[in-house]
Amino acid sequence: MALVDLDAVEHNVEVVRRAVGPAAVMAVVKADAYGHGLVPVARAALAGGATWLGVAHVHEALALRGAGVEADVLAWILTPGTDLLPAVRAGIDVSVSAVWALESLVAAARATGRCARVHLEVDTGMSRGGASPAEWPALLDAVAKHVDAGDVVVRGTWAHFASADVAGDPSVPAQLQAFEAALRTAREHGVDPGLRHHANSAAAFFVPQARYDLVRAGLAVYGLSPAPERATAAELGLRPAMTLAARLAHVRRVPAGAGVSYGLTYTAQADTTLGLVPVGYGDGVPRHASWDGRRSGEVLVAGARRRIAGRVCMDQVVVDLGDDAAEAGDLAVVFGPGEAGEATADDWAAAAGTISWEIVTRIGSRVPRVHTGRAAGRGA
């Protein structure tokens, strides 16, 4: 099961809010709140002082509305053919970075008789989403026309960093400079940019000039550091919200020389006890964190962190307990805040060659979420 501490979520949002004030906080709850559970996390984040929620897709924003969440929500990925009527009706803010997207939003606004709320995304150097500097003026002209006609209101103008986690990276000031230029161009084209936002979690903490009116904090809301080598979660005052735990399904002794798991890539060096932990890559435990002859992800069992014996399977992993006693039913903690000696999402990210964002977000739908904390009583 994945235990999600909603008090930690609330606390983390307060920490971000204090760090970035007077800028406001958008809690990013895309991808089922990075695997933590969309609606309970959204409510906890709002209780912690977030005034905006951010998601990638319109359907994620509609799921929030469907659960009765009325706060401002921004959805920032649009594809041609997306039905925008429900979004406009539900008062969802939608990001556009191209004229075709603006026109489809305007069509939805006219069909509903309502004014559509738009954020303009401009590319400041990451070359992912956003209007390019060449496309920006034409988008602005179209926006100005539709604002005058009363079909859309510009609520924000934004961009995204490529490397805000890297200390001293020259792309950070370069992106800020490009953003300033884009804001100037907007005003020159008669467009009020509304709320300006460029910062993710890393920039919220490490790039004060990037905070503008609003920061879009994702990872920090979940209590993880966007740059553990610069500042750990604890140093930032954050509390990891998710603990992944399971009960041992089987415990057995094997003799020295026994091979373990698919491919028999792990060999017991001496007589040893093996514990079976019933979570695997089907639950989001990364197979890349299998034992590679030097290291693996580690699971806390019977008071110590245990290496994974061999490969991570779809539904289970085997851990090597040595001569320590354990029995079926004992608690195994895959990762958590680290306070009881368990590995953290950062440790698993290192073992799997990835980032902590991916470790928590990929915990699958098969794993029951159990929400705890005062905020859990607010109704999900």
Ligand X SMILES: *Cc1c(COP(=O)(O)O)cnc(C)c1O
The reply to whether 284 sits near ligand X by the rule CB under 6 A is: no
136 touching ligand X, by CB under 6 A: no
Contact indicator for 272, 319 with CB cutoff of 8 Å: no
Q: How far is residue 153's CA from residue 194's CA, in Å, rounded to a whole number?
A: 9
Q: How far is the CB of 306 from ligand X (least distance, A)?
A: 30
Q: Which of 216, 239, 306, 369 binds ligand X (CB under 6 A)?
A: 216
Q: Would you count residue 239 as binding ligand X (CB under 6 A)?
A: no
- The distance of closest approach from Cβ of residue 226 to ligand X in the complex, given in angstroms and rounded to an integer, is 5
Among 218, 228, 286, 373, binds ligand X (CB under 6 A): 218
Question: Which residue's CB is nearer to ligand X, number 298 or number 346?
Answer: 346
Q: 24 or 317, CB closer to ligand X?
A: 24
Residue type, 154: V
Least distance (Å) between residue 139 CB and ligand X:
18
Coil, strand or helix: which one is 260? strand
Q: Which of 160, 198, 211, 239 binds ligand X (CB under 6 A)?
A: 160
Does residue 348 belong to the site contacting ligand X (CB under 6 A)? no
Per-residue three-class SS string for 52-108: EEEEEEHHHHHHHHHCCCCCEEEEEECCCCCCCHHHHHCCCEEEECCHHHHHHHHHH
Shortest distance (Å) from residue 372 CB to ligand X: 22
Torsion, CA 78, CA 82, CA 83, CA 89, rounded to 10: -10
Which residues within the stretch 255-274 sit at the binding site for ligand X (CB under 6 A)?
Answer: none
35 binds ligand X (CB under 6 A): no
Close Cβ partners of 298 (under 8 Å, ≥ 6 residues apart): 305, 306, 307, 308, 343, 347, 351
262 in active site: yes
Q: How many whole angstroms separate alpha carbon 269 and alpha carbon 265?
A: 12
The answer to whether 26 is a known ligand-binding residue is no
Query: Please, are residues 336 and 244 in contact by the beta-carbon 8 Å criterion?
Result: yes
Task: Show the tokens assigned to 342.
Answer: 């368990």
Shortest distance (Å) from residue 205 CB to ligand X? 10
Q: What angle do CA 344, 345, 347 make, to 5 degrees?
A: 65
CA neighbours closer than 13 Å in the CB half-sphere of residue 247: 4
Binding characters for ligand X, 85-104, by CB under 6 A (x = yes): --------------------
Q: Minimum distance from CB of 57 to ligand X (Å)? A: 11
* DSSP string across 261-276: SGGG-EE-SSSEEEEE
345 part of the interface to ligand X, by CB under 6 A: no
Would you count residue 196 as binding ligand X (CB under 6 A)? no
146 binds ligand X (CB under 6 A): no
Nearer to ligand X, 226 or 275 (CB): 226
Tell whether residue 76 is a contact of ligand X (CB under 6 A).
yes
Q: Of 30, 34, 212, 281, which one is the catalytic site residue? A: 30
Q: Tell me if 128 is assigned to a ligand binding site.
A: yes
Query: Is there binding between residue 361 and ligand X (CB under 6 A)?
Result: no
> CA-CA distance, 40 to 24, in Å (whole number)?
21
Closest CA to 287 of 231, 224, 353, 232: 353
Tell me whether residue 281 is one of the annotated catalytic residues: no
Q: Report the distance separating Cα 97 and Cα 140, nearest Å.
A: 10
Could you list the residues that contact ligand X (CB under 6 A)? 28, 30, 76, 160, 200-202, 216-219, 226, 357
Q: Which residues are annotated as a binding site for substrate?
A: 128, 314
Q: Which residues are annotated as a binding site?
A: 128, 314
